[in-house]
Structure formats: C-alpha cells, structure tokens
Homo-oligomer: A and B are copies of this chain.
Amino acid sequence: MKTKPLQPTEAELDVLRILWEHGPSTVRFVHERLRRHKDVGYTTTLKIMQIMTDKGMLERDTRRRQHVYATLYQESETQQMLLDRLLESAFGGSAAKLVMQALDPQRTSPAELRQIRRLLDDMEKERS
C-alpha cells in the first residue's frame, strides 16, 4: 500500500518541478536549472535531493557515478495534496471560494476561462 505524498518544502518543490518536467535527472542537471532562478551552491542542491530521497520523495539509481534521481509521486498527486492543504488552512474547505479567488479576471485569459467552462460542462454530463 502506497503512503500519502509528503509535504514538500519550498526548496523541495523547486526540485520536484524540474523532475516533473524533465523526468529522471542528475543532480548536475537539476542544479543548472535551479541556477537560472536562484543563486545556490551545488552541494546545497545535492543535499536537498539526498534528503528528499531519505524522506521517500525521490528514488535514485546509483549504478552510474552520476546518480539519477526520479520522483516517487506524480505531479497531479502532489498538486492535489497541496491544494487540499490550502483549501483547509485558508479557505475553510470551500473549493468554490478558492476557485473564485483564483479566477481573478485580471489574470485569467479568455482561453483559460473557456477551458474551465468546458470542464464544468463535462462534469455536468457525467453526473447525469
């Protein structure tokens, strides 16, 4: 039985995003990506990824010298977990409240709005 995905910290999420986007990667690769947005030392990145492995967030293939790390939880799974947490901690559990805040017309494009509307239509259909 698979346990629930753990709460990633901010630095851990930075790593996860890169792994989700690019698939299994070396520390060097992840680090280079991180450096685009953040000035941090190589051993810091290494340590974070080692800790994540200890925590059971990542697995690694140590057959080669450059260890290859992979995520143990799907992106959607983790997103759902973070969303649930925010929902509980800040929106009193109301998804509608959260969604309405998120759909700030200033920031949401018409295309995205259409996409969401389609989703609602689909859900309506499946319900009947």
How many angstroms from the CA of A76 to the CA of B94 in the assembled complex? 13
Which chain B residues lie closer than 8 Å to A117 at the CB level? 117, 120
Instruction: Tell me the interface secondary structure of chain A in the complex.
Output: helix
Copies assembled: 2
User: What 0/1 pattern do residues 105 to 116 of A give for CB contact below 8 A with B?
Assistant: 101101011011
Which chain B residues lie closer than 8 Å to A95 at the CB level? 102-104, 107-108, 112
Given A95-B108, A117-B120, 8 other A-B residues pairs in contact with their CB atoms under 8 A: A79-B97, A86-B86, A95-B103, A96-B108, A96-B115, A98-B102, A100-B116, A113-B124
Query: Which A-B residue pairs are the 5 nearest by beta carbons?
Result: A96-B112, A96-B115, A95-B108, A95-B102, A13-B89
